[in-house]
Amino acid sequence: MSAASRQPRTLVEKIWDDHVVTEQPGAPSVLAIDLHLVHEVTSPQAFTGLRRRGLRVRHPERTVATADHSVPTTPRNLPILDEMAAAQVRQLETNCREFGVPLHGIGDPSQGIVHVIGPQLGLTQPGMTIVCGDSHTSTHGAFGALAFGIGTSEVEMVLATQCLLQRRPKTYEVRVDGRLAAGVSAKDIILNLLSRIGVGGGTGHVFEYRGSAIEALSMEQRMTICNMSIEGGARAGLIAPDETTFEYLHGRPHAPQGVEWEAAVDRWRTLPTDDGAVFDRTITIDAGALEPMVTYGTNPGMGLPISSNVPDPAEAADDQRRRGLEQALTYMDLQPGQPLLGQKVDVVFVGSCTNGRISDLRLAAAALDGRKVAAGVRMLVVPGSDEVKREAEAEGLDEIFRAAGADWREAGCSMCIAMNGDQLSPGQYAVSTSNRNFEGRQGKGGRTFLASPLTAAASAIAGAIADPRRLPGIETLAAVGGR
Amino acid sequence: MPEQYTTFVSGVIPLPVENVDTDQIVPARFLKVTDKEGLADALFRDWRYEADGGLKEPTFVLDKPAMYGRKILLAGDNFGCGSSREHAPWALVSWGIRAVITSSCADIFQGNALKNGLLPIIVDPERLRQLFDLVAAEPEVELTVDLDSQVVHLPGDEDLPFEVDPFSKLMLLQGTDELGYLLGKAAAIDDWEATHPARVDTRPKGAAQRPAA
């Protein structure tokens, strides 16, 4: 079929069509995978499977591993005290050595959260198919890549064949137009979307985020949005590549160089959704009307504008919703009708694959500069990668955090998943820049309010949930993120 | 590799909770394992046990003696959302669950379940409500899950048909796995790769330029 006679296609349909290896009636498509990211938690059983079958990794040079989930964020010269975590990290090292997979392990200057280092190294590029045994692989969609999380059986398939069996997903347009107010950021856009569609609203679909508010975002803010696509049930969420994307990628270690760069950019320019292409579903968000968002419950869809009150289960649409809300409020120990603003917090966590990048740390630091974390509040700042840590230290952000009384740590997933010893105690409240507020996610019995880095910093200063728009100088402060 | 999926009769474990996430099915602290064994103890751990290791009071549904040996979990909408951890279906299967009846499953969970001999049976929300009512009225009710005919037999000769991906159905009934199927496509993959150059090289710069030994 010539290009001219083709039906208009969406971004995801173009990438899909480019990667179908073969199709058989009744069976899913065999889809080629360009980049496979691997971490210590979801890969050991896959490598064991390869050994059992006597298979090798088909393309170790299209595969890259790091240790992020269970690594301590204490100084790197200390051993991993948790014997099971240590064994898992050692197993990853053994597997990578035996199968020839490049590894950015502990001590490697490129170590970090898998969804931070992929973009940082220039491995994540437009038009690619990217998978990882991790649901937040959707992050890489910010570059106009089809990127999604897979299970360990699929990790084994990709290691063995560099392919997956997949059914073509449906498409869901998320159109965000208008201009964000100072103090309102990408995190608030995605939390607003989730509060509207719920945690299952995107099931079976892939989001494409479009519109003037999305185009105006930096790459790191775009990553924040795409990262949480999975919290709406969509395995992937994409943003069309543009000049912002190319500028971010240019000169990165694994990005194309020289004439190859020019050819790649030409190819990437053909990716955006064609005029007239049809999405299966559409939702629109008015960016100008958004407030900072915060969650109150036990899934990321339970979020509200920060000036709201906790909802009343008695007003729920049906019995099952009411029970769900009651269970959430019991777990959170919140009262229907109480204001979110002013709710006391014990811990503030800034980090994760959602908001652990340099621009996130710059915003939190700008808010904290010359101020103090409230007495009795523990604040952890965990850079998303070793490179982010070095960059932050070069800019003196670590000094600002320390002077404010925050704890400046080594890179990793840390308190987002609480596998590494960084965790809440039962009953503690945290404002967290991470992606999940599920029961026990940040430590058994811990209670999470998801929010943006600015809201987290404002809340650390207040010792309670606080509105970042009331920070002095918010207009200039909110502009420091960059990138 | 999963066993062949055969028709079975079982009582029902009711879990009328929506949006059950995989962090509840297996909390993250149990993900430090490097094999698939022993996860039955981690299943719904924090909904079952107190911090001191004793069972919660009242006991969680799984720990009621009448539930032992039951193979069907009846769950609220959007079951298995959140993390991609395949430990979730491993733990459910390890406990003995072979089918989850709900009104929708999260995409990644559904794919993981089907690869491990765990059948998601998706019914419409009204039907799901009726099933919860049925189990509440008759806690000992037994259902027959017949994948081959794509039907759940209810008491009183009532049949509840369900949809299932035809390829996944075949894999389950034969007890074969998708990797075996994919490995059989090696020639097609070779052909495709011959005309589609790699998009990226993950080897550290310097190493990539070195000729292969």
Q: Rounded to 5 degrees, what angle do the CA atoms A89, A92, A94 make? A: 110
Q: Are A292 and A188 in contact (CB under 8 A)?
A: yes
Reported as a single tens digit per residue, the pLDDT across B163-185 is 999 999 999 999 988 999 999 99
How does A310-323 read in b/e, with b if 16+ C-beta sit within 10 Å?
A: bbebeeeeeebeeb
d(CA A76, CA A68): 13
What pLDDT does B210 receive? 40
Classify residue B34: in a domain, yes or no: yes
pLDDT at B208: 44
Nearest residue of A to residue B110, measured between CA atoms: A151
To the nearest whole percent, how much of chain B has pLDDT over 90? 89
Give domain status of residue B180, yes or no. Answer: yes
The answer to the question of residue B148 being in a domain is yes
Would an 8 Å CB–CB cutoff place A419 in contact with chain B? yes
Q: What is the pLDDT of residues A119-168, one digit of tens each?
A: 999 999 999 999 999 999 999 999 999 999 999 999 999 999 999 999 99
Does residue B190 sit within a domain?
yes
In a domain, B200, yes or no: no
Examine residue B208 and state whether it is found in any structural domain, yes or no: no
Q: Could you give phi then psi for residue A104, rounded to 5 degrees?
A: -105, 80
ipTM over 0.90: yes
Q: Say what the pTM is.
A: 0.97
Structural domain of B97 = 8-194
Q: Is residue B98, in this structure, part of any structural domain at all?
A: yes
Tell which phi-psi region holds residue B96, choosing left (phi > 0), alpha (psi between -120 and 50) or beta.
Answer: left
User: How much of chain A, in percent, has pLDDT values that exceed 70?
Assistant: 99
Contact A419 B78 (CB under 8 A): no
| Count of beta carbons in the 10 Å neighbourhood of residue A421 | 17
> Is residue B3 included in any domain, yes or no?
no
A 35-94 residues with CB below 8 A of B? Answer: 35, 41-42, 44-45, 48-49, 53, 55, 59-64, 69-70, 82, 84-85, 87-88, 91
Q: Do B167 and A165 touch (CB under 8 A)?
A: yes
Interface touch A200/B19, C-beta < 8 Å = yes
CB A128 within 8 A of CB A16: no
For residue B134, give the CATH number of its domain: 3.20.19.10
Residues 110-149 of A with CB under 8 A from B: 123, 125, 127-128, 133-135, 149
- The structural domain count of chain B equals 1
